[in-house]
Chains A and B, each alone.
Chain A
Amino acid sequence: MAFKHDVVIVGSGLAGLKAALEVADGLDVALISKVYPTRSHSGAAQGGIGAALGNEEPDSWEWHMYDTVKGGDYLTDQDAAEILATDAVRAIYELEHMGVPFNRTADGRIAQRAFGGHTRNFGEAAVKRACHAADRTGRVILDTLHAEATKRGIRIYPEFQLLDILMKDRSVVGLVVYEISSGKLHVFHTRAVLLATGGFGKVFKVTSNCFANTGDGVYLAYRCGIPLEDMEFVQFHPTGIYGLGVLISEAARGEGAVLRNSERFRFMEKYAPTIKDLAPRDLISRAIITEIREGRGIDHRDFVHLDLTGISKEKLSEKLSDISSFAEIYLGVDVSTDPIPVSPTCHYMMGGIPTDLNGHVLNENVEAVEGLYAAGECACISVHGANRLGCNSLVDLVVFGRRAGQSIRRDLEQLDWKSLPSSPDARPAEIIENLKTRSEGEKAYVLRDAMQELMTRSCSVFRNEKDLKKALSELEDLKNRYQNVKINDRGDSFNSDLLEAMELERLLGLAETILISALGRRESRGAHFREDYPERDDENWLKHTLIRQTDSGPEISYKPVTITRFEPKVRTY
């Protein structure tokens, strides 16, 4: 079937929903999502959303901006960080007005708590900046925005999966979309597309990410010739439940939990003497792996302990009930008496589709691609630089999701309807036909497991040239084997066998961009730590990586970082 909408938004997490709400009045906007909207991964965000409200203690947007820039190890584009920090305050009040049930202070204002890397007066001490609804902040914001979207009558197509972006003369003209319940291919003819498809943590074996996070929008943009920015910067959250990767929010440490090694020593005192367990994630993840490598993992194994026993039972049930229940369900651990075994888990992609401050997707010449926009984790503005601070993701989604929506509204007058290419769905139809008829080959999970294994082994918290090169050649082999991937299910309805096989192409492609970008950057900055180049090198590497698909393979280039208020300096906490 052919659908026609002025604007199509792909992804129904916070960025997509917020943008849709901005575009909705008087314009025909549709939202497509591979899952039912309330299942989107924004809902898994636990600990909070950062804004310098100053409700608990003095705070200022300038301190927030500084923390964001320093947290990003100075790769953050500072014009973006300034917008994030200043607009965050308005954004929180807007969410409260929409009904988000934030926790409250005794005098009835929005309560705030400490979070990693958020400080008072340019690094002096930790500051309470994280607004929160217990430890399910993302979920309640998602529900609130979703209800608002249905109230406003925004057309939502649930369980519709993006398969292709249609371009004509370097402008976007439409999308090819797969209806999961029926197996039908649909063409969406449109004037503007916003990609809000989230991250791709499923490239790694241990991740806090949901199964839907396969980087669909990012890979399809890359395949259209759009460069990807800073793909080497992958955040490993320090406290995933050992083995499972399920996230234990930084809010635990914000409320007083501490990390301990096998000697029960609070080891973060050593790595970040000022803010200790509230240091940024990249630093803590490296500290944990260092403790493990030096033999101080618990029982000489590859995890450490997160100790919540100093937090009162009352506070645990009021402010950290979800993570307390995760520990109980998955480990049988009562967090009020026993520690949680934790290790770093792949959590967030700082890199993605390059955009300007208003969501316009930028091509290799840093010019806007007509009709194409991106927001949220799939985008790279770059507001998070080399390492995102906790609490800055949700605020990115609502601040820059809104800006993308507003710029679509502004631009739409100039965006004409362009005709679709002939047989627009030919390519996806052929891919599906091939997958459904191939009788010999390997199953997708074999290749996916191998990819996740090799990425986790070679491209996690610590990296080096030898391992990255080896991983790249192993990945090439997997990509070749993928040409013969085979599925079981030949049906049309809810054929997740087919969809997972198609998602694997995206994951393999994105894994390659991560490895090549990581191999290229011969320095250590934020989440990208090279054992063979352990220092940050501003002279040569204070620049963003771009990787682009060309006829002769992936090509790397670089572009400058925007620096306004804060000159790079040594990053200690």
Chain B
Amino acid sequence: MIEMKFNIFRFDPEVDREPRYQKYTVKAEPWERLLDCLNRIKWEQDGTLSYRMSCAHGVCGSDGMKINGRCALACQKLVKDYQDKEVLLEPLPTFKVLKDLIVDLDKFFERVEWVKPYLIAGAPPEKERSQSPEESNKVETAIRCILCACCSAACPVCHENSDYIGPAPLVQAFRRIFDSRDEEKEERLKQLDYPDGVWGCVNYFECTRVCPKEIPVTKSINLMKREIEKSR
């Protein structure tokens, strides 16, 4: 067992005027996840600590937070990689904090909805629509997205410009634009062709660096920019 030290962002709008940081020490096995440490702190030491979590293995996308300054999923980070110094846990930046490590994602999901994250196509055949493996591979990385919001939280443009649509909704748009079955490619590209759409991205690559599912986010955005330029 390793003794892990944490410094955790605390804020309860019901009681606190401003945020504070609270220190905790907890024992954990090297192979355990930081989420396991958080749970132990919550269950054994301080039930008032709040964070979201569910699947605990990087599929549901609930436990995005800032870990030592970097946006990540607490269930994907192991104790052995953080044992040397105190671990700083903070909520995802750019979003409004609701309590402790929980942020308001309503606007994030509204923006995902805005890109029409569903297939738009005419009447289907009796069986499946035809699609070659090469065509289906074009969206292979984009379908990994779990909407954890780490990319949008980490994006420096999102910090400064709250109107920028942000990387996650753009990945969702990419998934449909490059799906050979979708019939609204032109309209979808037109929708994103504005300063706070795809052009808001200026290649910081932070989204790509933090993506827990290793989606080439920046590259995907640039591919959409190229498609827009081609269609002009």
Stretch in A93-101, A351-359, A512-520, A565-573 with 4+ CB within 8 Å of B:
A93-101
Query: How far in angstroms is the closest Cβ of chain A from B35?
Result: 10
User: Can you list 28 A-B pairs with a CB-CB distance of less than 8 A?
Assistant: A36-B105, A41-B55, A43-B55, A43-B146, A44-B59, A96-B124, A97-B124, A98-B119, A99-B119, A99-B179, A101-B136, A103-B136, A104-B131, A104-B132, A108-B131, A109-B130, A110-B128, A134-B140, A136-B59, A151-B118, A318-B137, A326-B57, A329-B78, A330-B31, A330-B78, A488-B47, A493-B98, A497-B42
Within B44-60, the residues touching A (CB, 8 Å) are: 44, 46-48, 50, 52-60
Write the nearest CB–CB distance from A297 to chain B, whole angstroms.
18
The tally of residues in B whose CB lies under 8 Å from a CB in A reads 62
Which chain A residue has the least Cβ–Cβ distance from B110? Answer: A150
Find residues 1-48 in chain A having any chain B CB closer than 8 Å to their own CB: 35-36, 38-41, 43-44
Q: Is the CB of A491 within 8 A of B48?
A: yes
Question: Given A43-B59, A134-B140, A488-B46, are A210 and B54 neighbors across the interface (CB < 8 Å)?
Answer: yes
Give the secondary structure class of B's interface. loop
Chain A residues closer than 8 Å to B99, beta-carbon distance: 493-494
Give the size of the chain A interface in residues (CB under 8 angstroms): 64
- Taking Cβ atoms with an 8 Å cutoff, the residues of B that contact A are 12-15, 31, 33, 42-44, 46-48, 50, 52-62, 76, 78, 98-100, 102, 105, 109, 113, 116-119, 121, 124, 126-133, 135-137, 139-140, 143-144, 146-147, 175-176, 179, 181-182, 214
* Chain A CB within 10 Å, residue with most, of B127, B128, B146: B128
8 closest residue pairs by CB, A with B: A488-B47, A99-B119, A497-B47, A445-B43, A108-B130, A97-B124, A494-B50, A39-B60
Judge whether A443 and B43 touch: CB under 8 Å.
yes
1/0 per residue A315-341: CB within 8 Å of B?
000100110011001110000000000
* Nearest residue, chain B, Cβ from A212: B54
Asked if residues B61 and A38 are in contact (CB atoms below 8 Å), the reply is yes
Contact A497 B48 (CB under 8 A): yes
A148 at the interface (CB under 8 A from B): yes
Q: A210-B56, A494-B99 are in contact. Are A140 and B129 (CB under 8 A)?
A: no
Count contacts between A and B, CB distance < 8 Å.
162
A residues near B98, Cβ cutoff 8 Å: 181, 493-494
Contacts A97-B124, A103-B136 aside, 10 further interface pairs with beta carbons under 8 A come to A99-B176, A101-B139, A108-B132, A134-B143, A143-B147, A210-B56, A246-B56, A326-B57, A445-B44, A497-B48
* CB <8 Å contact, B59 and A98: no
A residues within 8 A CB of B119? 97-99, 144
Chain B residues lying within 8 Å of A36, measured Cβ to Cβ, are 62, 105, 109
Per-position 1/0 for A91-121, Cβ under 8 A of B: 0110011110111111011110000000000
Of the listed residues A35, A36, A109, A487, the one surrounded by the most CB atoms of chain B closer than 10 A to its CB is A36
For the complex, what is the distance from the CA of A97 to the CA of B58, rounded to whole Å? 28
